[in-house]
Amino acid sequence: MVTGLSGPGLTEGTDAAMMIADLIDGKDPALVKRFSTSRFSLNQVPKMALQQRQVMSDYAERALPADEIDESDLKIGEGGVGMVRGEHFAVCKDQSGEFNRYSLICTHAGGVVRWNAAAQTWDCQVHGGRYTANGDRFYGLPTV
């Protein structure tokens, strides 16, 4: 059994299946190091801790007070997460000048999305989910 695959899982799940088949056949699979529980070393702990701190910060942001966003102040292509009339929202003004207001919570694992001005998408840092400016799933794990 293989669990805990990161990312979309389709690629890593296929790799894991090929590795298990090789092990059953008595072969030495090339992918065995990738799935080894000892593949991490202690020098990677600081980087992992920083990543986990960001994830926890994203979850905490849902409960913490946020700045009020005045939609009329947004320029075309701008977005942000904050309070609109006392409720948390993800708000942006798309390229056509339309205001879009959505839940700031990613539908996959409950992370808080952030506006990616360069790509004009809402991105979730928890598992890499991305949504278009109008809220449609663009890439990644999220489900509606």
Q: And the tokens for 113?
A: 């999305």
Altogether, the residues listed in the chain come to a count of 144
- Note whether 55 and 85 are same-domain residues: no
Write the CATH number for 120: 2.102.10.10
Q: And the tokens for 76?
A: 């075309």
Residues sharing a CB contact under 8 Å with residue 139, sequence separation 6 or more, in sequence order: 128, 129, 130
Residue 33's domain spans which residues?
Answer: 10-61
Report field, pTM of the whole predicted structure over 0.75: no
Q: Is 2 a member of any domain?
A: no
28-44 confidence digits (pLDDT tens): 887 777 777 777 778 88
Average pLDDT of every residue of the chain: 81
Alpha helices in the chain (DSSP H): 10-24, 45-61
19-32 confidence digits (pLDDT tens): 888 889 998 887 77
Q: Is 5 a member of any domain?
A: no
Q: Residue 58's pLDDT band (boundaries 50, 70, 90)?
A: low
Contact 133, 80 (CB under 8 A): no
Percent of the chain clearing pLDDT 90 (strictly above): 12
Which helix (H) or strand (E) is 89 found in, with range? strand 87-93
104-113 confidence digits (pLDDT tens): 888 777 778 8
Please tell me the predicted confidence (pLDDT) of residue 76. Answer: 93
